[in-house]
Amino acid sequence: MAAPRKALPEIDPQRCTGCGWCIAVCPPHVLSLQVQSATGFGSKRSTLHDVPGCTGCALCAVRCPFDAIEMVKIAKP
């Protein structure tokens, strides 16, 4: 059984350029590029689309060349 995750990635949309490096290194494939506008056109940004599937490994944060991803500790209930 895997260790419980201790943190989740928080993506700063102001720093994210949509380069996709975080998506490429994500083992469980829980990140994706999403268009940010309601029209469906425009720049894309990385999004954590599957929170329960995230292992909290932090590879995305380590790989991000723009320091747009910060690992945020999960509050214990």
User: Where do the structural domains in the chain lie, given as residue ranges?
Assistant: 7-73
The set of residues, in sequence order, having a beta carbon less than 8 Å from that of 29 and lying 6+ positions away, is 23, 50, 53
Residue 1 identity (one-letter amino acid): M
CATH number for the region 7-73 comes to: 3.30.70.20
Range in 1-15, 17-31, 48-62 the model is least confident about: 1-15
Q: Is the pLDDT of residue 11 over 80?
A: yes
pTM value is 0.85
Question: Of 76, 73, 51, which is closest to residue 6 (Cα–Cα)?
Answer: 73
Q: Is the pLDDT of residue 72 over 90?
A: yes
Separation CA 77–CA 35 (nearest Å): 33
pLDDT, tens digit, 9 for 90 and up, residues 12-25: 999 999 999 999 99
pLDDT at residue 39 in the model: 83
